[in-house]
């Protein structure tokens, strides 16, 4: 399965390479072109995470930075403190919007590509991720601790990637990057943002959508559990009763 996908990636990128090399005139009309090896990621029974290949071409020398962002949603963070010797959740903050997934790939270390102010404006790197708490609720340094807590928790789950994936650039014009989505990604519309940097400035940017969705049995069970909860509960009980009965029969024979 994995091998098959790799071969498929190779085929696609070779085709792209040929296209890009054979028609230089077309490339001039656009400074930056990108595509993904797939537009949807299907969560099926065997899903254990996946790699999505991003490839593209650019005109002239430059650096490429790619950001993958999962859909924003509100996130509750809790903080423990010791009560009578036991650790208890005693405080809570709600971040109105935080990306459910965040990963970054770059052709060079970010600090060498652009200045902090530029990186901050484009929210490049976990340090620059915009995660605001209402001013009234938290002073600046308190907010920073909660923010760090949110990021650490997502990192532990593998949903905010600490490492910056490499982007390889060939012939100063073609680039490719492998983007990894772990098994616990949430579903929804992801954004793949591609930036072309030259002399520390963004000269071009493209956005590609990536849909993560449940497919097949997984989707059926999930939708059923959430849309027809009562029936789902009854069927779960029925399945258990049947399984118990079958087990009893097997027991008796043995």
Partner 1 sequence: MQIYLPIAEMSLNVFLLLGMGGVVGFLSGLFGVGGGFLMTPLLIFIGVPPAVAVGTEANQIVAASVSGVLAHWRRGNVDVKMGLVLLLGGLAGSTLGVMLFSFLRGLGQIDLVISLSYVVFLGTIGSLMLYESMRAMRRRKTAPGQRMKLHQHTWVHGLPLKMRFRRSKLYISALLPFTVGFLVGVLAAIMGVGGGFIMVPAMIYLLGMPTAVVIGTSLFQIIFVTANVTFLQAYANQTVDVVLALMLLTGAVIGAQFGARAGARLRGEELRGLLALMVLAVCGKLFFDLLVTPDDLYSLGVGQ
Rounded distance between C-alpha atoms, residue 23 and residue 6, angstroms: 26
**Least distance to partner 1 from the beta carbon of 124, Å?**
24
Rounded distance between C-alpha atoms, residue 155 and residue 131, angstroms: 15
**Least distance to partner 1 from the beta carbon of 83, Å?**
9
**Least distance to partner 1 from the beta carbon of 86, Å?**
5
Strands of the sheet with 32-36, listed across from one edge: 32-36, 50-58, 174-181, 168-170
DSSP string, 9-45: HHHHHHHHHHHHHH-HHHHHT-SEEEEES-SEEEE-T
Four-residue CA torsion sign, 47, 158, 154, 116:
negative
**Least distance to partner 1 from the beta carbon of 47, Å?**
4
Q: Which two tokens stand for residue 78?
A: 């809790």
Among residues 92 and 97, whose Cβ is nearest to partner 1?
92
By the criterion CB under 8 A, which residues form the site for partner 1? 43-49, 74-81, 85-89, 92, 94, 145-146, 148-150, 152-154, 156, 183-184, 186, 214, 217-218, 221-222, 225-226, 229-230, 232-237, 239-241, 243-245, 247-248, 250-252, 254
**Least distance to partner 1 from the beta carbon of 171, Å?**
38
Among residues 73 and 201, whose Cβ is nearest to partner 1?
73
Rounded distance between C-alpha atoms, residue 69 and residue 160, angstroms: 9
3-state helix, strand, coil in the chain (%, to 5): 35, 40, 25
Among residues 25 and 84, whose Cβ is nearest to partner 1?
84
**Least distance to partner 1 from the beta carbon of 39, Å?**
21
């Amino acid at each position: 399965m994995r091998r098959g996908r790799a071969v498929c990636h190779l085929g696609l990128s070779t085709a792209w390479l040929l296209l890009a090399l054979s028609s230089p005139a077309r490339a001039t009309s656009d400074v930056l072109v990108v595509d993904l090896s797939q537009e949807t990621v299907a969560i099926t029974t065997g899903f254990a995470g996946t790699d999505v290949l991003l490839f593209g071409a650019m005109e002239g020398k430059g650096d490429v930075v790619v950001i993958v962002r999962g859909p924003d949603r509100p996130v509750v963070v809790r903080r423990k403190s010791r009560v009578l010797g036991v650790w208890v959740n005693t405080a809570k903050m709600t971040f109105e919007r935080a990306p459910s997934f965040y990963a970054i790939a770059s052709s060079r270390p970010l600090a060498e590509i652009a200045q902090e102010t530029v990186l901050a404006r484009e929210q490049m790197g976990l340090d620059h991720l915009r995660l605001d708490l209402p001013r009234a609720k938290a002073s600046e340094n308190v907010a920073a601790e909660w923010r760090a807590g949110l990021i650490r928790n997502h990192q532990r789950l593998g949903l905010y990637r600490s490492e910056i994936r490499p982007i390889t650039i060939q012939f100063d014009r073609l680039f490719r990057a492998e983007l990894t989505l772990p098994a616990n990604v949430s579903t929804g519309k992801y954004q793949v943002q591609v930036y072309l940097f030259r002399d520390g400035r963004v000269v071009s940017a493209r956005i590609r959508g990536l849909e993560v969705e449940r497919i097949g049995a997984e989707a059926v069970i999930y939708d059923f559990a959430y849309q027809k909860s009562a029936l789902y509960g009854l069927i779960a009980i029925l399945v258990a009763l049947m399984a118990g009965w079958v087990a009893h029969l097997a027991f008796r024979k043995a």
